[in-house]
Amino acid sequence: MGSREWSIEKRSDSFKAEVLETLSETGCLSVIVLGASGDLAKKKTFPALFNLYRQGFLPADEVHIFGYARTKISDEELRNRLHGYLIQEKNPSPQHSEDLSKFLQLIKYVSGSYDTEEGFKRLDKEISQHEILKNSSEGSSRRLFYLALPPSVYPPVCKMIRKCCMNKSDLGGWTRIVVEKPFGKDLESAENLSAQIGELFDEPQIYRIDHYLGKELVQNLLVLRFANRFFLPLWNRDNIDNVQIVFREDFGTEGRGGYFDEYGIIRDIIQNHLLQVLCLVAMEKPVSLKPEHIRDEKVKVLQSVLPIKDEEVVLGQYHGYRDDPTVPDLSNTPTFASVVLRIHNERWEGVPFILKAGKALNSRKAEIRVQFKDVPGDIFKSKKQGRNEFVIRLQPSEAMYMKLTVKQPGLEMSTVQSELDLSYRQRYQDVAIPEAYERLILDTIRGDQQHFVRRDELRAAWEIFTPLLHRMDNGEIKPIPYTPGSRGPAEADELQAKAGYVQTHGYIWIPPTL
């Protein structure tokens, strides 16, 4: 093992020891997945818990997992349903199979409705029996409720948890809830939802999860910006011309048409995922790494965003979207949007932030693209090569690379664009990059809210987009049709150029091979 790999592994072991020591200071842990029979739970929540279990963060002698849903099935039936989603290797090793078998035995299932006490009292009884078996004194145990449910049932479920399933007293234990997006459909609905949950739980108990905040490269943003001297003088309006934050999928709604049509691409992707990334790109240095200090700076960025202008918005809908039988024939829901946001503060005045997301496009990727201004007094006449760009590739093929102009190898003094490249698969070959959900679930167990959305942050985000969304809902702005497999509406490229982005021609970044 090389010194770098040994160093990473040593730090990982130290972190695990620190986490387990913190967890051992209180009673046993119960993780309750509500909506246990649904897609989100099967595809994301339970696999994340299994990964944490395999890494030793969920010791079998301290943790039990409960699934709760309306479906009437047995413990064994739920385990069988989950089994296929937890096999992560084509040819599972004996150790993987043994770990999976032991993990599934930690799962207990309780069925019941989401708005009556009967099922939740049964759930509380099962949790209490587990706590007694683990010799946890009353009030010292920990209960984590993960709501893998539609937001419409959050209020009744939270009422039932509050009434039937809380820790009875406080002896170092806790009760926490994790809620998934979408947190409402506009400012009013989000505030109503926040008020209903806020009446039942304190803010430190509420974890509004946005899985983009758990992605490795998103979590790297604070380190990149504030731990590297050469970025500090460059990261401002004097040097940066524009910033793009892009989410592209090369497939359509694929069976989610009915759900997607209710929300659209702005509510589904831009208002939450991409806006959270914008906050980390644009925020000022926090006083410390304490969660509240970081979230304070994110709120300041959101409060500095100017109202969105209609002429700086392009909406699109791919041909064939309405062919989905679950989508209304006359739907105007956008499957593509490009929106220019402008931040009114000393650092970013005049720098457009272009947030773009779309389905059924010509590629799949999510990235941040920071484009710098032209070199003044360019003696090499290299403007045609394109501008310097710093690109953070969030998915797939996680990477960071800087596009810069260099001399073309050879006798002639000519220039060409190349890159300085940090590709994770090449640089960190022996390091497993954790999935976003496992990182965020571990944060909830640790009580770290740094990567979760605070109530005032949620309000500020909706204040930015609600006026635009209402104009769209009223039919004032309509989507432009585009061909599946294309870049989206041509008008989006025109908006991008108008905002100041200069396309690089003749250069394509290719992820390096191992």
- 3-state class of 350 per DSSP? coil
Residue 12 is inside which H or E element, if any? helix 3-24
Cα 453 to Cα 197, 212, 273: the distances in Å are 14, 11, 11
Cα 143 to Cα 30, 58, 359: the distances in Å are 5, 13, 38
Bond from prior residue into 481 cis (ω within 30 degrees of 0): no
- 3-state class of 205 per DSSP? helix
The burial class, CB within 10 Å (0-12 / 13-18 / 19+), for 200 is middle
Distance of alpha carbon 337 from alpha carbon 319, whole angstroms: 15
Of 113, 115, 2, 110, the closest CA to residue 64 belongs to 110
Enter the tokens of residue 183. Answer: 């947190």
DSSP structure class, residue 451: T
Q: Find the length of the chain.
A: 514
Distance of alpha carbon 183 from alpha carbon 421, whole angstroms: 37
Question: Mind spelling out the 3-state secondary structure of 380-426?
Answer: CCCHHHCCCEEEEEEECCCEEEEEEEEECCCCCCCEEEEEEEEEHHH
Sign of CA dihedral 407, 409, 412, 418: negative
Give me the sheet containing 174-180, strands edge to edge: 107-111, 63-69, 29-34, 142-147, 174-180, 206-209, 452-453
Catalytic residue chosen out of the listed positions 273, 319, 470, 505: 273
At which residue do the structure tokens 């909506």 appear? 35
- What DSSP letter does each residue of 213-225 carry, written as one string? GGSHHHHTHHHHH
CA angle 123–128–132, rounded 5-degree value? 155
Q: Is 211 labeled as catalytic in the residue annotation?
A: no
Alpha helices, DSSP H, located in 147-256: 154-164, 187-198, 216-219, 221-226
Partners of 418 in the β-ladder:
404
Amino acid at 451: H
Neighbours of 20 (CB within 10 A): 14
336-342 and 313-318: which strand pairing?
A: antiparallel
Enter the tokens of residue 455. Answer: 């109530």
Nearest-Å Rg of the Cα atoms of the chain is 24
Partners of 400 in the β-ladder:
392, 422
- 3-state class of 459 per DSSP? helix
Contacts with 467 (C-beta within 8 Å, 6 or more apart), sequence order: 307, 308
Please list the active-site residues.
Answer: 273
